[in-house]
Amino acid sequence: MNIEQIKQPFTDIFLGDFSDNPMQRNTPKVLFATVKPAGFDGPKLIAFNETLAEETGLGPYEEKDLDFLVGNNLPENVKTYATAYAGHQFGNWAGQLGDGRAILAGEIISKDGKKTEIQWKGSGATPYSRHADGRAVLRSSVREYLMSEAMYHLGVPTTRALSLAFTGEDVVRDMMYNGNPQLEKGAVVIRTAESFLRFGHFELISAQQEYKTLQDLVDFTIKNYYPEITTDGIEKYKHFFESLCTRTANLMTEWFRVGFVHGVMNTDNMSVLGLTVDYGPYSMMDEYDLNFTPNTTDLPGRRYAFGKQGQISQWNLWQLANALHPLIKDEKFLENTLNHYGSYFWEAHDKMLCKKFGFDELRESDEEFFTNWQGLMQELQLDYTLFFNQLEKLNPESDVKSLFENVSYVVLTDQRVRKLEDFAKKYEARLISNTISREKSLSLMKQSNPKFTLRNYLLYECIEEINAGKTEMLEKLTRALENPYEELYPEFSAKRPSAYDDTTGCSTLSCSS
């Protein structure tokens, strides 16, 4: 890999703490602190993403690069650092947080000018580790590595994953926070993004009333990641906030399209570029449920349930609006933009649903159709992904019971079959009124409805296998997630086996990582 081409433009521009002191502390007025990865004695490669390495300009992996994958023996040019951010966690201001288990190597620029930040997750403590160890376990590292790539191939904006390696060190974790600590294998993921900047970076510096730094940070963000913004002064900052709102609404729509629940939508986990960032207790949805909340830390409140992600993103943007107010200085504008967000999001969301159903355009009557459909999905506990796959096969002659029987998590009683038949009639009537051909309608459906989604139980099985020293499942899942709109493996196009209904780490997850 071309490790020698990695640079740190961020630390050249902004104020930082250059003491290299990993002791946990507040670092007021700065955006980062330099810190070295812990270093690990027994690194072992689990997976490497050759295509991403090529795209970023890092180039192919050689055996000598193994050290770099866990942050060992870094060359002179890799001056590592952790960034400081703040955030609202579960609705409350949490003050300074920061990269607690992530350390940045810096940025690389590909031949065609694409910028990519590179960071280790799980490579050791930083000033922002808040009494934790800065390590990550295999379980959470596999989940981040595979899911971020799965999202990328689904077409959802996301950070990506370059490598997954064992550290050779064991880590103690109490997975469900119930007084049951166990030793787990430690691992490190290298993840990449155009930028890892979060809402929380802006909130931190604004809360400290460091408005000059705030302005510099917004200018930096616009210059590097919002090239479409060409206005100046306050207009520029308004334009930035509007664009970020659009990107965020589009991201939420994409999460709804594929059935992704983030799990911890705190403002420190919200990307300023509109990317999915921080894969923790996330989950793809099996049976459709607007209340689905995989993160046990979020019970019983269900703040971050599947169906609430639109509203929550708006709440998070309110917090960012507060942070940006000293620059934009126009309450009315911020309020209007945020109010518009709600209507923009729901329209984008409904247009997305139209495509999933193969409808030509969004009509007023579709809203009622969608509400009825949601009720049906919820009541019959239909699998979100498989439902749409089966819907493509529906025609006026279909026997709906046999079409949807293997897609429901409850028994399809006669009464339930009647509800399905009723839905099918309404659906067909809506299709007939389409102004586009059936082929065009089917092609919309095929582009919007994945055949493969990375279900929790598959991840769970994959982690068990890697723990036992095997990687067949990892390789198979990698191929499947790289081609989510095809059915490469029929065994993956099936419901979650009932044996996994209540498995910890499968149907229920915690933030422990």
Q: Per CB under 6 A, does 511 bind ligand AMP?
A: yes
In whole angstroms, how close is the CB of 86 to ligand AMP at the nearest point?
Answer: 9
* 3-state class (DSSP) for residue 195: coil
Is 496 annotated as contributing to ligand binding? no
In whole angstroms, how close is the CB of 131 to ligand AMP at the nearest point?
Answer: 8
Number of residues that bind ligand AMP (CB under 6 A): 19
In whole angstroms, how close is the CB of 329 to ligand AMP at the nearest point?
Answer: 30
In whole angstroms, how close is the CB of 162 to Mg ion at the nearest point?
Answer: 19
Taking alpha carbons only, the member of 341, 342, 366 closest to residue 354 is 366
Identify which of residues 101 and 356 has a Cβ nearer to ligand AMP in the complex: 101
CB atoms inside a 10 Å sphere around CB 211: 12
* Torsion sign, CA atoms 282, 283, 284, 285: negative
Beta bridge partners of 96: 86
User: Look-up: residue for tokens 């209904």?
Assistant: 501
Q: Per CB under 6 A, does 59 bind ligand AMP?
A: no
Positions touching Mg ion (CB under 5 A) are: 269, 278
Identify which of residues 144 and 278 has a Cβ nearer to Mg ion in the complex: 278
Question: Where in the sequence numbering do the catalytic residues fall?
Answer: 268
Q: Per CB under 6 A, does 157 bind ligand AMP?
A: no
**Which of 129, 267, 313, 478 touches ligand AMP by CB under 6 A?**
129
Q: Per CB under 6 A, does 271 bind ligand AMP?
A: no
Identify which of residues 68 and 128 has a Cβ nearer to ligand AMP in the complex: 128
Identify which of residues 100 and 168 has a Cβ nearer to ligand AMP in the complex: 100
Identify which of residues 143 and 257 has a Cβ nearer to ligand AMP in the complex: 143
For residues 27 and 84, is the Cβ–Cβ distance under 8 A?
A: yes
449 CB burial (10 A radius; 0-12, 13-18, 19+): buried
**Which of 132, 172, 183, 290 touches ligand AMP by CB under 6 A?**
132
Is 134 annotated as contributing to ligand binding? yes
Q: Per CB under 6 A, does 100 bind ligand AMP?
A: yes
DSSP 333-399: HHHHHHHHHHHHHHHHHHHHHHHHHT-SS--TTHHHHHHHHHHHHHHTTBBHHHHHHHHTT--TT--
Q: Which two tokens stand for residue 416?
A: 């339930």
In whole angstroms, how close is the CB of 449 to Mg ion at the nearest point?
Answer: 30
Task: Give dist(CA 434, CA 489) in Å, integer.
Answer: 33
Q: Per CB under 6 A, does 278 bind ligand AMP?
A: yes
Residues whose CB is less than 8 angstroms from the CB of residue 487 and which lie 6 or more positions away in sequence, other chains included? 451, 452, 493
∠ Cα 262 268 271 (to 5°): 70
Q: Tell me how long the chain is.
A: 513
Binding site per annotation, positions: 98, 100-101, 121, 133-134, 191, 198, 269, 278
- Which residues of the chain form contacts with ligand AMP (CB under 6 A)? 97-101, 128-130, 132-135, 264, 268-269, 278, 280, 511, 513
Please enumerate, by residue number, every residue annotated as part of a binding site for ATP.
98, 100-101, 121, 133-134, 191, 198, 278
Binding site as annotated, residues for Mg(2+):
269, 278
